[in-house]
Structure 1
Amino acid sequence: MLRAGAHAQCTRSRDRTPRRRDARGGETLSPDGAGTGRRLQASCPSMDEVQARELLGFLHLDTRPDLKGQATGYILGLTGNVEGRTLLAGRPDFLEALLLLTGDRSLAVVKDSYHSLINLSVAVATHEVLAKELPVLLHRLLDPGYAFADQVCTLLSNLSREEGTCRQVFQAVQEEGLGLAWVVEAFCTEGYNKKAALHYLGPLLSNLTQLPETREFLLDRSRCVVQRLLPYTQYEASAIRRGGVIGTLRNCCFEYKYHEWLLGAEVDLLPFLLLPLAGPEEFPEAEMERLPVDLQYLPQDKQREKDPDIRKMLLEAVMLLTATKAGRQLVKEKGTYLVVRELHQWETEPDVQAACEKLIQVLIGDEPEPGMENLLEVKIPEDVEERLQHLDREEERQQGQQETQSKGPGAQMGSSGLSR
């Protein structure tokens, strides 16, 4: 059952996080280019104020290119582990210097600077400084000829994960005269930027739908925006773009006043959510006719969505559409139970299995009592809510134990740095 007080959250599946970069060791540089002989190991960073000022001295546009390249390369190495990111996240002067160098003449320096900022932007402590450059970043993002638009897009995706900075991104989009319409246009236009794929516009949109203003824009019936996003639920070229769109649609489903419209003929959202979950199973004729036309008589080589995080988001979106009585009726009439039942038998990921089971309970269970038909508005007593949260934590703990056991005795914990 959906809990009272549930709200749209930004997408945090593993494909949204920048890859961890290998740490590099390096020699500190002096203004004349000679090494000082001291080694600052990026794998175990420590930097006193003298060393910090020395390194900052090379992070200027007019610094000799080779020295500047070594300095930005070293900083990129530092950002490849937790200790290095913690060290730099508390230094606004380094963040400002890296932002400045994204306008450097050297493409290598610009690239390293962006990648360092992407890694550092995982830390909330960096957001206040980085948010000051939102107008510049947004104009670069939507410049069809900007070569580093992908890096800007990834950086903005990280910044928009937290609600506070997300609102700043939204306001900057509006104030710069760009508007969400421009962001959607760039996302939906194939080849908008010949030098950048802009796949991370998907997670950026998903994060922005934390905000009710974004959801209202996307669901405005006069704009026909949400319909433009639907084909990307099957976008095979990028799981990042595909997952971002599905996260966006899931968050929009929190707006239950639009459910009947979303499930109706004008949008017909349900088949776009169910098709990625469907396999090649054959059903008896009577059951087949209950399914939407797009899900009938699928080919024998039909594959389900490969990413378990995306499968879970799809199930969560369908679950949200069952929050109202009218929504539940429409979802049930379309044979949703048949698709979810087969998915549950096929599924191997514990958390996705759990999502299947919760949805099945709603699909085959009795209707709620009068006055409780809208599951998103049901007020749960505090003691019951605490017990439910405890059960959720216990369920997550058990799932974690199952995953650890399934990896076998030789399994080891992954790196503590940024991971894919």
Structure 2
Amino acid sequence: MSKMPTELEELAEFLHHGNTQIRQAAAEHLVGYSQTHTTLFKRNQLEPVKDLKLIVKDYVPIAKNGLTILINISHDAEVLKALASDDAFLETLLLRITSKKEPNANEIAMLLANMAKDDSLQRVLELKRDVPKELSTSRWAIDQLLDCFVKGAEGAYNKHADYDYLSYFFADLAKFPQGRSYFTTPQPHDTNIIPLTKLQVFTSHRSHIRRLGVASTIKNSAFHVPSHPTLLSNLSPDPALPPPSVGANLLPYILLPLMGPEEYSDEDTEGMLDELQLLEPDKERENDVEIMKTHLETLLLLCSTREGRDVLRRVKVYPIVRETHLHVENEDVREACDRIVQMIMRKEEGEEEDEIPDGAVVKAGAGAPKLVELKDDEEEDEDEKIVDIC
């Protein structure tokens, strides 16, 4: 004998009611329960989820509530799979988010960001669809979404949307090898532009969501070690790179957020990238420690090869990291600074012993940071050699 549906379950059944006002009332009331009652939307083989997918195409207020519910319940693995693996639903979302007049584009961006946590959504990297002519010239869905994000910042393409949450979508795609390859490879159909160069310009944007998502996309892309020479190069053309010999010039965009108004000595600035010199006296350092930590982790990834470490030494990354360590009172940020210093200040195989001890690390102390020689665990630290940095 089947149990009687509860009032809430009955309410969920009204999501497919033929009367618009009843559908609207049901969706509106269910939004509040979607954060705490995920199982409510999974009954009868996910029938409410199927209804919600259709509601996305409904009248604007109903669609908005439907999208909000889907955003809230997509943390559930079963719901996530039902959304991410549905080709027709994905096309519905793409059709709407690329429309210049879509009033719920931001909610769609948030839902796509959640859906990207499912492995199956990697297929968006190989998906071709009709060209939204006002937005893009590319048939590739991923290019169209990138155009939404770049051209749509601050309502420039669609007055209802800023597309900031697409940066989280890109960050999740960049966790997959195919996504990293896309973001770091010159695209022949797009005049050999490297997609990451379209994103990196937003590392100093006023939107916190955009800065964090872009920083995460860059970091995840940097796990693709073969792309490091391209990411580190600021030359175009660069004869050291394979054709089309285009450098991404990534470093200024991840170093600028780490920098404040500090003045550097001539010795420190000699060789520093042009974009990082003569900054305004009111230059502000990134104020979110998660974003700072993410940029520092990107630098650590770029330290993973000898060539990368050589570039970071040559363009004077060390003084920037030193000042970051000195001025940011956060243990995670300081620890990340320590690790970078260990990588770029150590001597390489075949080099003479440097003035700075092998494996030197910045340690927080009173006043300026200190470089402390690292000892083996079994050694006593009473004779540690401390070198002050002025």
TM-based fold match above 0.5: yes
CA gap of 1:57–1:259, structure 2 versus 1, over 3 A, is: closer
Task: Write the mapping of 1:82-121 to structure 2, written as runs, cut at 5 A.
Answer: 84-89=37-42, 92-105=46-59, 107-121=60-74
Alignment partner of 1:251 is 2:220: yes
Residue number among 80, 97, 109 corresponding to 1:127 in the alignment: 80
Partner AA of 1:161 in structure 2: K
Alignment partner of 1:166 is 2:121: yes
2:24 maps to which residue?
A: 69
Q: Distance in 2 between matches of 1:216 and 1:147?
A: 33
1:147 maps to which residue?
A: 103
For structure 2, the 5+ residue unaligned runs are: 131-138, 235-246, 352-390
Alignment deviations for residues 116-155 of structure 1 (CA, whole Å, 9 cap, x no partner): 1111112222112212211211221112221111111100
Say which SS state the counterpart of residue 234 (structure 1) adopts: coil
Q: Distance in 2 between matches of 1:325 and 1:144?
A: 47
2:280 maps to which residue?
A: 299
CA gap of 1:123–1:169, structure 2 versus 1, over 3 A, is: farther
- Identity of matched residues, %: 29
Q: Distance in 1 between matches of 2:211 and 2:149?
A: 11
Q: Distance in 1 between matches of 2:279 and 2:98?
A: 39
Residue number among 247, 254, 277 corresponding to 2:258 in the alignment: 277
CA gap of 1:165–1:49, structure 2 versus 1, over 3 A, is: farther
Say which SS state the counterpart of residue 58 (structure 1) adopts: helix
Does the 8 A contact of 2:321 with 2:337 survive in 1? yes
TM-superposed CA distance for 1:304, in Å, is: 0.9
Q: Distance in 1 between matches of 2:264 and 2:9?
A: 70
TM-superposed CA distance for 1:168, in Å, is: 4.5
For structure 1, the 5+ residue unaligned runs are: 1-46, 371-420
1:327 maps to which residue?
A: 308
Higher relative contact order (CA 8 A, sep 6+): 1
Q: Distance in 1 between matches of 2:341 and 2:29?
A: 52
Does the 8 A contact of 1:85 with 1:120 survive in 2? yes
CA gap of 1:75–1:369, structure 2 versus 1, over 3 A, is: farther
Alignment partner of 1:235 is 2:205: yes
CA gap of 1:170–1:93, structure 2 versus 1, over 3 A, is: farther
Residue number among 180, 203, 214 corresponding to 2:179 in the alignment: 214
1:184 maps to which residue?
A: 146
Does the 8 A contact of 1:289 with 1:296 survive in 2? no
Q: Which moved more, 1:111-120 or 1:138-147?
A: 138-147
Partner AA of 1:253 in structure 2: A
2:348 maps to which residue?
A: 367
Partner AA of 2:147 in structure 1: E
Counting matched residue pairs gives 317
CA gap of 1:170–1:262, structure 2 versus 1, over 3 A, is: closer
Partner AA of 2:294 in structure 1: M
2:377 maps to which residue?
A: none
Q: Distance in 2 between matches of 1:146 and 1:369?
A: 60
Partner AA of 2:225 in structure 1: Y
Alignment deviations for residues 371-401 of structure 1 (CA, whole Å, 9 cap, x no partner): xxxxxxxxxxxxxxxxxxxxxxxxxxxxxxx
Partner AA of 2:70 in structure 1: L
Does the 8 A contact of 2:125 with 2:140 survive in 1? no
TM-superposed CA distance for 1:48, in Å, is: 6.3
Partner AA of 1:192 in structure 2: Y
Say which SS state the counterpart of residue 218 (structure 1) adopts: helix
Say which SS state the counterpart of residue 119 (structure 1) adopts: helix
Q: Which moved more, 1:117-126 or 1:86-95?
A: 86-95
TM-superposed CA distance for 1:89, in Å, is: 5.0
Partner AA of 2:232 in structure 1: L
Say which SS state the counterpart of residue 14 (structure 2) adopts: coil
CA gap of 1:196–1:333, structure 2 versus 1, over 3 A, is: same
1:33 maps to which residue?
A: none
Does the 8 A contact of 2:218 with 2:298 survive in 1? yes
Does the 8 A contact of 1:254 with 1:320 survive in 2? yes
Q: Distance in 2 between matches of 1:367 and 1:77?
A: 58
Partner AA of 2:326 in structure 1: Q
Partner AA of 2:102 in structure 1: Y
TM-superposed CA distance for 1:358, in Å, is: 1.4
Partner AA of 1:335 in structure 2: K
Q: Distance in 2 between matches of 1:97 and 1:318?
A: 46
Q: Distance in 2 between matches of 1:48 and 1:168?
A: 41
Q: Distance in 2 between matches of 1:235 and 1:113?
A: 30
Does the 8 A contact of 1:61 with 1:104 survive in 2? no
Q: Let me know the Cα RMSD of the aligned residues.
A: 2.3
